[in-house]
Amino acid sequence: MIDQLWEWIAIAVGILVVLGGALLGLVRGRGGKTKDAPRTPAPTGTTDTEVLPGVGDDATEPRDAPKRSVEDVGGGVDTLPAPQTLPEPEVAPSVERPDSAQGRLTRLRARLSRSNSALGQGLLALLSRGRLDEAAWEEVEDTLIASDLGVEATTELVDSLRARVKVEGTTDEATVRGWLREDLLRLVDPGMDRAVASSRVGERPAVVLVVGVNGTGKTTTVGKLARVLVAEDKDVVLGAADTFRAAAADQLETWGARVGVPTVRSDRDGADPAAVAFDAVKAGMEMEADVVLVDTAGRLHNKVGLMDELGKVKRVIEKQSPIDEVLLVLDATTGQNGLRQAEVFAQVVDVTGIVLTKLDGTAKGGIVVSVQRKLGVPVKLVGLGEGPDDLAPFDPEAFVDALLD
């Protein structure tokens, strides 16, 4: 009986051991599927060659498990840093290379001839009539005076033409055109030196002072002149000594930047223009520039105080450098009033050359002759339009030919 009891106990213990082992295995198996150890986010820059978090003694994967890419790790993509947008590289402002100024007046002659038809074609029409009586010659004189040629030059031209017609006995248009061209060219005087100072003088740059009344396009002319000189491979410095017009310095600086030319200016409106001009010339010396172009404020020729100030600008500049050129900018449409302006400016700053702007449109070509005679200085530059390269060195022959086209 006792032996049978021990047999039953042994059987029960065996059953319990079997059941316990099975239960333990079941618990372990379910724990590996439903309770994964939390994974730490992949560190920035994780690649498929790095050991992933959770692989080791306490993980469900053996240590020699295949390494996986970030995309294979749940949530790994979300841990990567957002792509960074690189700043756009700074692009240097483009610098223009102006066309050569040689031959500009010839290229623009069609525009010039249209604006001076009264002096050219109108005069030829009168002279080519079959019979030139006193009334016809008076009409010729009126045409020339209306073209701002001036009384003295008109008398000379008419006397010369009358003598030729009388001697030759002809009014053939081709012949008269040849006579008129010769006489006009003589009046324009091709022998005058029309070069603008633009080369270094010894150890210093040439200094050019630009003056004129309000509204003549003075600052624009300085900017266009810089383009003419850059096209000749000159090193130019601009001086913004027009400190009264708020936008003048900005305007000049923009012109200079387009061709890579530095501008010396004041940081405040109403600064002393003489001081700015002085600083510009000093900067030109330090930079070893070829030429310094100094823009000045427009001023009425009948305002004594403003004209005295212009004289001061000239004197201050001359404390450190002689002034090699004083260019007076005149509006070609102002006629005889422009001549009066020119006389006053010449008394204050010793004008050495004339720039005639707005010679296109309604301008009268005779102003070239009359202003040269009045001041005894040459027209050196002419403006024939709104374009940046519409400022041309004055060529007497091209000018006269354009008048007669």
Annotated binding site: which residue ranges? 212-219, 295-299, 357-360
Instruction: Return d(Cα 195, Cα 187) in angstroms, integer.
Output: 19
In sign, the C-alpha dihedral spanning 65, 70, 72, 74 is: positive
Which of 403, 321, 405 shows the shortest CA–CA distance to 149? 403
Binding residues for GTP: 212-219, 295-299, 357-360
Instruction: For Cα atoms 141, 145, 148, give the angle at the middle one, nearest 5 degrees.
Output: 150
Quick check: helix, strand or coil at residue 68? coil
Residue 5 φ then ψ, to 5°: -65, -45
**DSSP for 148-206?**
T--HHHHHHHHHHHHHHHHHH----HHHHHHHHHHHHHHHH-TTS--PPP-S-BTTB-E
Residue 210 φ then ψ, to 5°: -110, 125
Burial class (CB in 10 A: 0-12, 13-18, 19+), 305: exposed
Q: Show the tokens assigned to 25.
A: 């295995």
Which of 355, 394, 362 shows the shortest CA–CA distance to 146? 362
